[in-house]
Structure 1
Amino acid sequence: MNLDTAAPPLWDYDLIADRLRGPGWAFLPNGLDTALALDLLQDLHQLPDDQWRQAGIGRRQDHHTNDLIRRDAICWLDGRSSAQQRYLATTDALRLELNRRLLLGLFDYECHYARYGSGAFYRKHLDAFRGRSNRVLTTVTYLNPDWQPDNGGELLIYDLDDTELARVQPSLGAMVIFLSEDFPHEVLAANRNRFSIAGWFRRNNSTADWVDPAR
């Protein structure tokens, strides 16, 4: 399936909501303002090395690293810079608007920078398993100026029957939003460094005896 190059800007909330109702995912080729995307890229490059860690798989007691599955490094966004604050304010506005239109009960948003060195990848996976996670919507935002098709590094999106739905080139400002439980996806290896922000809109599963999230 070819991507819809006429996809709406990120902040056309009605059209985003319509796409999440069906087919359940949206591709936004100009989802993030170019100036903000470049500011985030600069922020990412200014992070000290000790802020980055090898990405893992699984959550809580099942969390571990496996470089046969993924080889990226991550750093969580916490609003420490102006660029991060602006991005988080933008995603919070999206959260409120999608709650208003889709009644999703989205409680918060967590996200991290992802740094893929040349040759790094992330094998096919789901961000949430039905009934076992509070992740509702996944977002991926790309921070790569002048990305060329032969650079590789595409995001592949599948349905639950493993049919490929789309290949997304990780170009500066492009964004993808999809239902976390419904779309397996993978990151193909690139031949240059590749940067993005992976994020999740979540429901709150806290109880009197258990605080969610804990990371």
Structure 2
Amino acid sequence: MNQQTDILPASLDKIIEQLAEHGWVVDNTLFSAQAIRQLQQCCLAQWQEGRFHEAAVGRAEQQGRRSEIRSDSVLWLEPADAHPAVAHYFSTLDQVRQAVNQAFYLGLEDLESHFAVYPPGSFYKKHLDRFRDDDARTLTAVLYLNEDWPDAAGGQMRLYLDADCTQSLDVVPRAGTLVLFLSDRFWHEVLPATQQRLSVTGWFRRRQPGLAWSS
């Protein structure tokens, strides 16, 4: 894959402006159709190889499968992954990390990320992305890999825009759409879909004083 990793300054400026104003942004400019297709093919190949596992909720000893809360399956990714599509994904989002740090002094140092596959009928109930006992996750990034996704298929991410969850934005999971939002501020959920739904979900994390990183 011919990788073009330099993001246009105008795209980064728009992301920073929207994050400053709203705390969230929906972008369709950072990833080319080719980059998304390569990620989709990588995701599906590993899905077919049986490398995914059912997603859990919580962390450490509280972690467990809760099918009434979420019913997707995930495969964790590493920046050193040999697949060029995954390397391109991490390289692109690292430019976002640097721009966000420069603008907001958040001290983001790490991106943990996984492929997520939602079989038909799967969902993820309303939740926040920050753990109660660990505030490292600071900025959530969700990138969709679903080409030609029809509105009638469902599967939207419903992002709640206020603390009382009375206002919301539904994001259709179409290929190339990237959603960024502050992890501790915005409740959100994944609505059931009528067909398989693919995404890459990541969290920019800040280092905790005196603590080692954990996944």
With normalisation by structure 2, the TM-score equals 0.89
**Structure 1: how far apart are the matches of 2:9 and 2:29?**
7
Q: State the partner residue of 1:145.
A: 147
Secondary structure, counterpart of 1:161 in structure 2: coil
Q: 1:1-215 maps to which residues of 2 (within 5 A)? A: 12-47=11-46, 49-78=49-78, 79-128=81-130, 132-158=134-160, 159-205=162-208, 207=210, 210-212=211-213, 214-215=214-215
Q: State the partner residue of 1:6.
A: none
Secondary structure, counterpart of 2:115 in structure 1: strand
Whether the aligned pair in 1 keeps the contact of 2:30 and 2:92 (CA below 8 Å) is no
* Deviant stretches of 4+, over 3 Å: 129-132
Q: Which runs of 5+ in 2 are unaligned?
A: 1-7
Whether the aligned pair in 1 keeps the contact of 2:11 and 2:29 (CA below 8 Å) is no
| TM-aligned CA distance change 1:31 to 1:148, over 3 Å | farther
| TM-aligned CA distance change 1:131 to 1:63, over 3 Å | closer
How many percent of aligned residue pairs carry the same amino acid?
36
**Structure 2: how far apart are the matches of 1:136 and 1:112?**
16
Whether the aligned pair in 2 keeps the contact of 1:137 and 1:201 (CA below 8 Å) is yes
Q: CA RMSD in A?
A: 1.8
**Structure 2: how far apart are the matches of 1:74 and 1:140?**
13
Q: What displacement does 1:29 show? A: 3.3
Equivalenced residues, count? 204
Q: What displacement does 1:200 show? A: 0.4
Whether the aligned pair in 1 keeps the contact of 2:146 and 2:197 (CA below 8 Å) is yes
Secondary structure, counterpart of 2:135 in structure 1: coil
Q: What displacement does 1:31 show? A: 3.9
Amino acid at match of 1:51: R
Q: Which moved more, 1:98-107 or 1:170-179?
A: 98-107
**Structure 2: how far apart are the matches of 1:167 and 1:132?**
28
Deviation by residue 1:184-205 (Cα, 9 ceiling, x = unmatched): 0000000000000110000011
Q: Which runs of 5+ in 1 are unaligned?
A: 1-8
| TM-aligned CA distance change 1:21 to 1:32, over 3 Å | same
With normalisation by structure 1, the TM-score equals 0.89
| TM-aligned CA distance change 1:164 to 1:175, over 3 Å | same
Q: What displacement does 1:206 show? A: 5.2
Secondary structure, counterpart of 1:70 in structure 2: coil
Q: Which moved more, 1:42-51 or 1:170-179?
A: 42-51
Amino acid at match of 1:124: K
Secondary structure, counterpart of 1:22 in structure 2: helix
Whether the aligned pair in 1 keeps the contact of 2:58 and 2:131 (CA below 8 Å) is no
**Structure 1: how far apart are the matches of 2:65 and 2:82?**
26
Amino acid at match of 2:33: T
Deviation by residue 1:65-109 (Cα, 9 ceiling, x = unmatched): 100000000001122311101111111111111111111110111
Whether the aligned pair in 2 keeps the contact of 1:11 and 1:94 (CA below 8 Å) is no
Secondary structure, counterpart of 2:108 in structure 1: coil
**Structure 1: how far apart are the matches of 2:145 and 2:164?**
30
Whether the aligned pair in 2 keeps the contact of 1:10 and 1:30 (CA below 8 Å) is no
